[in-house]
Amino acid sequence: MREKELIVYRDFQDGELLHDMAWLMSHYMEAKDKETSAETMAELFYSCIHRLIELAGTYGFHGNLWHCYLANLLVNNENSYSCGCEIRGEIQGTINEAALHDIAIFKEFYDYDFAPMCEKLHVPEFAMTENYVGSRAESKVYNARICARICELAEKFNQNHTPEEMKATLTEFYREYGVGRFGLHKSFRIVHDDKGVRIEPILNIAHVNLDDLVGCGLQKKKLTDNTDAFVAGRKANNCLLFGDAGTGKSSCIKAVANEYYGRGLRIIEVYKHQFQDLNQVISQIKNRNYKFIIYMDDLSFEEYETEYKYLKAVIEGGLEKKPENVLIYATSNRRHLIRENYSDKEEIRQDMHTGDTVQEKLSLVYRFGVTIYFGAPDKKQFQEIVLALADRYGVVMEKEELLLEANKWELSHGGLSGRSAQQFIDHILGCVQGHAEM
């Protein structure tokens, strides 16, 4: 087998299994002398079967595990061809010849008939991996949606008769979903360890949809208008969502991540202590074909905290221009982000330049071109939210009783807000389900 002749597709994660399988395919007929005995090769073959089944448990694969493994290698390998095709589709140039050369090698792996090897090495157990039925346990790496896409791609490859057809199928996958971690996942976090600054996927993002958010229609419209422009390649602004607690600011960002994933939008969550890593993060994403929102939740600074200076430079003001595929979205309970004191505006104080002090503290918020206010609902709006949520979740209760209980709930659970309304409905549903189980 020709795995060492690969040009574009190299340096795979979990690539050792490919090399071991390739060696067996090329040498199993030579099982004669002591060094390459059938027993030694069978042991390696069993090890490969073990790793395929372990991968099935880790990634959630089912069906033909060898085919799923190969498909997973192809969709995760970030190279000049796959990254060029992500979101945009087929690219031009000689790189297509090199990619086709590699896909032809993968097709040989894909079409390989294991029956003679199983017979020669007396390993019939490989048949278990050819029609594997997975468990219902959650994958440790992929959610069910991602796993299904890779297994479906493996099935589509079965229908391809030539390397050209297989390459076209793979390229369409790149165009529709992307490649690697950014192609398969919606949201990410930053990890800074001995290996440096890395962007790692968040495996379990809340499945919030924009339609699920009640009582903030104008805010959603302003946010989606800006995000629509961004993903379409038009001019867009950094956004600050500010206002009262529990009014849907963070939920709107999560809903945006779900709503625009199919259009190439990805969310990277960043915390205050990681602002000094922002330049390295941006350097890793600026040349990708996705649109990235760097998301900062509950953003605010005390007077003694200076991390905001890193953020100011990244948003606007540094020598290097912020890439066009990156925006900053932040949520905060504060309009001005940095704590201000009355002393900042007093005429007599130690600081001779009072105006400069005030401007310094306001300069960060001025870098957000779009600011969206989320205010707490009044009594009537709160009741409308409760009724809408009750209807959505199928709560069966007289309107007067429902609103009476909701009023009691908000008095002792955080006041009037969309969050307390949702918590109240969750409480009602929990009580109903508890009674049903008794």
- CATH assignment at residue 344: 3.40.50.300
**Cα–Cα distance for residue pair 148/142, rounded to 1 Å:** 9
Are 247 and 293 in the same domain?
A: yes
- Residue where a domain stops, chosen among 152, 184, 216: 184
pLDDT of 52 above 60: yes
**Per-residue confidence band for 413, with pLDDT thresholds at 50, 70 and 90:** confident
Q: Taking residues 105-133, report their average pLDDT.
A: 95
**Per-residue confidence band for 207, with pLDDT thresholds at 50, 70 and 90:** confident
Residue 212 lies in a domain: yes
Helix (H, G, I), strand (E, B) or coil at 107: helix
Helix (H) or strand (E) holding 330: strand 326-332
Residue 231 lies in a domain: yes
Both tokens of residue 101?
């050369």
Q: Taking residues 259-275, report their average pLDDT.
A: 91
Are 152 and 21 in the same domain?
A: yes
pLDDT cut 90: percent of the chain above it:
48
| CB neighbourhood size of 74 (10 A) | 24
**Per-residue confidence band for 348, with pLDDT thresholds at 50, 70 and 90:** very low
**Per-residue confidence band for 304, with pLDDT thresholds at 50, 70 and 90:** low
pLDDT of residue 10: 93
pLDDT of residue 245: 80
Helix (H) or strand (E) holding 72: helix 65-76
Residue 190 lies in a domain: no
User: Over the stretch 218-266, which tens digit does the pLDDT of each residue have?
Assistant: 999 999 999 999 999 999 999 999 888 878 888 899 999 999 998 999 9
Q: Taking residues 272-300, report their average pLDDT.
A: 89
- Say which residue, 122 or 134, is predicted with more confidence: 122
pLDDT of 43 above 80: yes
- Main-chain phi, psi angles of 343, to 5 degrees: -65, -20
pLDDT of 363 above 70: no
Q: How many domains does the chain have?
A: 3
Residue 246 lies in a domain: yes
Are 222 and 336 in the same domain?
A: yes
Are 9 and 98 in the same domain?
A: yes
Residue 37 lies in a domain: yes
**Cα–Cα distance for residue pair 411/403, rounded to 1 Å:** 12
Strand pairing of 196-201 and 187-193?
antiparallel
pLDDT of residue 295: 93
Selection from 126, 100, 112, 104 nearest residue 44 by Cα: 126
Torsion of CA 111, 114, 116, 119, to 10 degrees: -170
Residue 132 lies in a domain: yes
Residue 193 lies in a domain: no
**Cα–Cα distance for residue pair 237/272, rounded to 1 Å:** 21
Contacts of 338 (CB under 8 A, 6+ apart): 300, 301, 303, 308, 361, 362, 364
pLDDT of residue 355: 46
Are 292 and 260 in the same domain?
A: yes
Are 369 and 383 in the same domain?
A: no
Q: What single-letter amino acid sits at 128?
A: M
Are 261 and 341 in the same domain?
A: yes
pLDDT of 347 above 80: no
Q: Taking residues 61-69, report their average pLDDT.
A: 96
pLDDT of residue 34: 55
Residue corresponding to tokens 């020709």: 2
pLDDT of residue 16: 95
Q: Please state, rounded to an integer, the average pLDDT across all residues of the chain.
A: 85
Least confident of 9-23, 129-143, 215-229, 338-352: 338-352
**Per-residue confidence band for 321, with pLDDT thresholds at 50, 70 and 90:** low
Structural domain boundaries, residue 54? 3-184
Are 403 and 326 in the same domain?
A: no
pLDDT of residue 303: 66
- CA distance to 379, 383, 413, 429, per residue, from 434 (Å): 29, 25, 21, 8
Strand partners, 192: 197
For 235-274, give one letter per residue: b (16+ CB within 10 A) or e: ebbbbbbbbbebbbbbbbbbbbbbbbbeebbbbbbbebeb
Residue 340 lies in a domain: yes
Selection from 415, 418, 388 nearest residue 402 by Cα: 388
Are 305 and 159 in the same domain?
A: no
pLDDT of 407 above 50: yes
Contact present, 120 and 17 (Cβ < 8 Å)? no
Are 350 and 386 in the same domain?
A: no
Predicted model pTM: 0.80
Q: Taking residues 297-304, report their average pLDDT.
A: 72
Angle between helix 65-76 and 15-27 (nearest 10) = 130
Helix (H, G, I), strand (E, B) or coil at 237: coil
Selection from 231, 23, 52, 55 nearest residue 139 by Cα: 55
- Residue where a domain stops, chosen among 157, 184, 211: 184
Least confident of 89-93, 303-307, 316-320: 316-320
State the burial class of residue 134 (Cβ atoms within 10 Å of its Cβ: 0-12, 13-18, 19+): middle
- Residue where a domain stops, chosen among 184, 217, 250: 184
pLDDT of residue 335: 59
Are 291 and 171 in the same domain?
A: no
Are 265 and 209 in the same domain?
A: yes
pLDDT of 294 above 90: yes
Helix (H, G, I), strand (E, B) or coil at 112: coil
- CA distance to 64, 206, 431, per residue, from 423 (Å): 44, 16, 12
**Per-residue confidence band for 329, with pLDDT thresholds at 50, 70 and 90:** very high
pLDDT of residue 257: 92
Residue corresponding to tokens 């905001």: 308
